[in-house]
Amino acid sequence: MSTNDFNVESSRRRVLGSAMPMVRSLFKMRFFVPAFLVLVITMIAGRAAGQTSFSILQSPGGISFTKVGSAYETTFGDMNALGVGTPQSGLTVSALSNGALYFSEYEVQFTGLALGNAELTAYVSTNFAHPAAQIIENCPSASACTSSAGYSAMSTASGSPSTVIASMGNSTATVGIGIFLPDNDGASAFTGTDNSAVVTFTLTNLTFGIALATATMTFTLTPANTVQDAVSLALATAPSGLTVSGTASPYTMAFGNVNGLGVGATVPTVAAAGGIIYATPYYLEPAFSDFTSTVADLEVYASTNFAHPTLLQLDDSAAAAGPYNAISTTVGTQTVMTTTAADRSTITRYLGLFVSLNNTATPFLGSDSATLTYTITVP
């Protein structure tokens, strides 16, 4: 082997020898990077598990909660699909065209977040035993939760929960929860106690997509969540008819100046033996919920008659032209207007005021009044 050959080999050894530390160094770097990532993930998981990340709080004037660990309990008490009566303390009830929504604001407080904002979602993890009678609704922080318009049905799927708070750091937001009671009659009618629903909340870090904490809300406090049946009957003004004043009983209606000939009448008249009938259309608006029947009976009687019943008489008719029949003055034998009134229907009836000619030696001139009492009965 020549001298030059030896030098070349020596050079190769020197080069390889000097490269070995670099290889070892690179190996160490490759080992160190995964170790660092594992350490970061462990810190995030430790922070999530080691402290409460959100709390559900009572809003001023809202429903109250009882907390046991990460479980919250509340109650909506007695409810009905017409929204009649006084709701449970802290609740607001809004009567809608197809049911009633009972709702309340509450507050959510995020604490201990150190890795960016988080979102809060919720879904109905266990539904009511009668889900057609009670529907849990959610109002997110982006909506106005003091109005029924801000509420919509809460998701019942864990994979696509409803948004309660889209993004927030360590702060407090106002949101809302409600229960909607739709009109249910016939086979779907339900009345009674149902406390079985559970809402599950999840707090998720938006930066890493990691669930930080969960909590549940159940409706198990007393008085128990109870669905009641309800019935109501309203009167309203019909087009071209006399004004029905008032939005609830007692209603009033005035026929104004009348006489036995219909002279100068401002209300349509119908000829009648011995006098004349002043006639006006008006509306009957029945509503009922959670009855096994889908129709109702409507009856009426004069609970307080005119002081001059031989000269003035109240009549009822299904048509403007008649026939008109005298309205009963006895509670036990009321005048039946219909036996097939549907829920949330509008029924047009005609109220007639018969005025006698009164050609006697003792005529009556002046004002007089009577009171009609209406009855709705759901079989």
For 230-358+367-377, CATH gives 2.60.40
| Predicted pLDDT of residue 361 | 66
Token pair 């299904």 is found at: 318
- Long-range (24+ apart) CB contacts under 8 A made by 217-220 are 217/56, 217/65, 217/71, 217/72, 217/73, 217/74, 217/177, 218/71, 218/72, 218/73, 218/74, 219/73, 219/74, 219/75, 219/76, 219/195, 220/73, 220/75, 220/195
8 A C-beta contact, residue 141 and residue 96: no
pTM recorded for the entire structure: 0.81
Distance CA 358, CA 275 (A): 8
Distance CA 36, CA 366 (A): 99
Sheet (strand 295-304) strand order: 335-342, 295-304, 371-377
Token pair 């599950």 is found at: 200
- Could you state, in order of their start, the residue ranges of all structural domains in the chain? 52-227, 230-358+367-377
* Fold match between domain 52-227 and domain 230-358+367-377: yes
The H-assigned helical ranges of 190-299 are none
Q: How far is CA 69 from CA 52, 175, 214, 216, 224, in A?
A: 10, 21, 11, 10, 22
Q: How far is CA 239 from the centre of its chain?
A: 31
8 A C-beta contact, residue 351 and residue 279: yes
Q: What does the block give as tokens for 94?
A: 């809004």
Pairing of the two strands 198-205 and 162-168: unpaired
Sheet (strand 198-205) strand order: 66-68, 71-73, 211-218, 198-205, 118-126, 162-168
Distance CA 32, CA 36 (A): 6
For 52-227, CATH gives 2.60.40
Distance CA 84, CA 289 (A): 11
End-to-end CA distance of the chain: 120
Tens digit of pLDDT per residue, the chain (379 long)?
Answer: 433 443 433 333 333 344 334 333 333 434 333 433 333 333 333 343 447 589 999 999 999 999 999 999 999 999 999 999 999 999 999 999 999 999 999 999 999 998 899 999 999 999 999 999 999 999 999 999 999 999 999 999 999 999 999 999 999 999 999 999 999 999 999 999 999 999 999 999 999 999 999 999 999 999 999 999 999 999 999 999 999 999 999 999 999 999 999 999 999 999 999 999 999 999 999 999 999 999 999 999 999 999 999 999 999 999 999 999 999 999 999 999 999 999 999 999 999 999 999 877 677 889 999 999 999 999 9
Token pair 């959610």 is found at: 138
Q: Which of 297, 316, 325 is nearest to 372 (CA)?
A: 316
